[in-house]
Amino acid sequence: MKYTEESDKVSYSLGLSIASNLIASGVRTINTPAFIDAIETAYAGKQPEISPDEANKILQGFFQKLQNERGSAAKKAGEKFLADNKQQPGVVTLPSGLQYKIISQGSGAVPKATDTVRCHYEGRLIDGTVFDSSYRRKQPADFPVNGVIAGWVEALQIMPVGSKWQLFIPSELAYGSHGAGQSIGPNETLVFDIELLDIIK
pLDDT in tens, 179-197: 888 789 999 999 999 999 9
Phi, psi (rounded to 5 degrees) for 133? -160, 115
- Answer yes or no: is pLDDT of 1 > 80: no
Rounded to the nearest integer, the mean pLDDT of the chain is 93
- Answer yes or no: is pLDDT of 34 > 90: yes
CATH number listed for the domain at residues 6-73: 1.10.287.460
Say which CATH class 78-200 falls into.
Answer: alpha beta
Q: pTM of the prediction?
A: 0.78
What is the reported pLDDT for 56?
Answer: 94
pLDDT in tens, 142-163: 999 999 999 999 999 999 999 9
pLDDT in tens, 51-91: 999 999 999 999 888 888 888 999 999 999 999 999 999 99
What is the reported pLDDT for 24?
Answer: 79
| Domain segments of the chain as ranges | 6-73, 78-200
- Answer yes or no: is pLDDT of 2 > 90: no
Give the count of alpha carbons within 13 A of 115, CB side only: 20
Give the catalytic positions in this structure: 121, 131-132, 149, 175, 192
